[in-house]
Amino acid sequence: MTVLDSTPVALGDDVRIDGLTVAYGATTALRDAHIDIAAGTTTALVGESGSGKSTLALAASRLLPPDARITAGSVHVGDTDLAALRGRPLREARGSLAAYLAQDASVALNPVVRVGTQIAEVHRVRHGAGRREAAALAVQNLADVGISDPARVARCYPHELSGGMRQRTVIAIALAFRPRLLIADEPTTALDVTVQADILALVGRLQQQCGLTVLWITHDMSVVAEIADHVAVMYGGRIVEQGDVLSLFEDARHPYTQALLRCFQEGRTARPKQILTTITGSPPTGGVPDGCPFHPRCPKADDNRCRTVLPEPRPFGADRQAACHHLELPS
């Protein structure tokens, strides 16, 4: 029996992030984020460094550092609002309602405990499995994530594994929780491209098999194109555009999304030594400007509304929205 056989057919739940706002001390790093993720689908969250992606991911998995707090909003996984949980219900929800995959797998693993023991612990503590059953399930979990010779690997310590195997092990631990939502925070960034492709394929396969709902954080548009059903674009702590991935790639409406996609497309077709275009200016640091957060870098910015009035997200089409004063909507 595999862990996938031992779980309900569909693990994933509908997820609704609504008005989520997070502050580090007096600084608001994430403002009023809304994302709906249908059960069993993948939403990618993209944006430059410092745009607030990890803050959103950590808040949604209730793993924010002590100096951060959720100041408004909710994170519903099915009927449970993770943002409202405290104490024991919160401890129980971590991992099982929302599991978090970090960029660096080595920080997620205990260096002095064999990896099989770390996975077995989840089965014992969370699901009440006996010692022998938990150990057998741990080996099965390692097989499920594509590790050959899982019984041997279960006896290894993390430092004895390659980066790709460590990331697979962390995915095996996450799956052992049988989560409703998997939040992956750039889990392939530190891996070389072939291992990255393997991990993306693995998560895609696991998602199909157990209907997981996935929020995947990345700054890499090619990853978005490969895995996502829906994409949300962040800038300056806000979601500035979102929609289904095909329609957004074909017809981006926010000037920031348009610039990101231009850079991505140019990168794909670049000749050797060609100097690539970047988005002029830098993302905001230490607070966002008044008005639209993108206005200092935006070719469409005007002196009136863009510099003074924050644009609210406006819905259009079947599943799209964008927050720009210059949005030209189809009539």
Ligand X SMILES: Nc1ncnc2c1ncn2[C@@H]1O[C@H](COP(=O)(O)OP(=O)(O)OP(=O)(O)O)[C@@H](O)[C@H]1O
75 vs 161, which CB is nearer to ligand X? 75
What's the Rg (C-alpha) of the chain?
Answer: 21
Task: Give the C-alpha distances (Å, rounded to integers) separating 26 from 19, 228, 286.
Answer: 18, 34, 11
29 binds ligand X (CB under 6 A): yes
* Edge-to-edge strand list for the sheet holding 68-77: 27-37, 15-24, 68-77, 80-81
Judged by CB under 6 A, the stretch of 45-53, 164-172, 198-206, 273-281 that binds ligand X is 45-53
Q: Does 26 bind ligand X (CB under 6 A)?
A: no
Distance in Å, CB of 232 to ligand X, minimum: 12
What is the closest distance, in whole angstroms, from the C-beta atom of residue 31 to ligand X in the complex?
11
Instruction: Name the nearest CA neighbour of 142 among 187, 176, 109.
Output: 176
Q: Cα 165 to chain center, whole Å?
A: 20
Q: Which of 67, 79, 303, 328 binds ligand X (CB under 6 A)?
A: 67
C-beta of 52: minimal distance to ligand X in Å? 4
Site for ligand X in 190-219 (CB under 6 A): 219
* Site size toward ligand X, by CB under 6 A: 13
The yes or no reply on residue 293 touching ligand X (CB under 6 A) is: no
Determine, following the binding rule CB under 6 A, whether residue 94 of this chain makes contact with ligand X.
no
Integer angstrom CA distances of residue 187 from 49, 59, 108, 274: 15, 17, 11, 29
Axis crossing angle, helix 163-176 with helix 115-127, rounded to the nearest 10 = 10
Nearer to ligand X, 24 or 157 (CB): 24
- Closer by beta carbon to ligand X, 67 or else 328: 67
Shortest Cβ distance from residue 281 to ligand X (Å)?
A: 16
Nearest residue to 233 via CA among 214, 219, 251: 219
Our CB check for ligand X shows the closer of 67 and 303 to be 67
CB of 323 to ligand X, least distance (A): 17
Q: Which residues contact residue 123 at a Cβ distance below 8 angstroms, ignoring those fewer than 6 apart?
A: 129, 133, 134, 137, 138, 176
Using rule CB under 6 A, residue 41 touches ligand X: no
In terms of CB distance, is 13 or 185 closer to ligand X? 185
Site string for ligand X, 217-246 (x = CB under 6 A): --x---------------------------
Q: Spell out the residues 6+ positions from residue 268 whose beta carbon is closer than 8 angstroms to its own.
A: 222
Residue type at 325 in one-letter notation: H
29 or 174: CB nearest ligand X: 29
DSSP characters for 242-301? Answer: EEEHHHHHHS--SHHHHHHHHHHHHHHHPPTTPPPP--SS----SSPPSS-TTGGG-TT-
Q: Which of 41, 42, 43, 54 binds ligand X (CB under 6 A)?
A: 54
Are 98 and 62 in contact, with CB atoms under 8 Å apart?
yes
3-11, 53-61, 69-77, 296-304 -> range binding ligand X (CB under 6 A) = 53-61
Which residues make up the interface to ligand X (CB under 6 A)?
A: 24, 29, 47, 49-55, 65, 67, 219
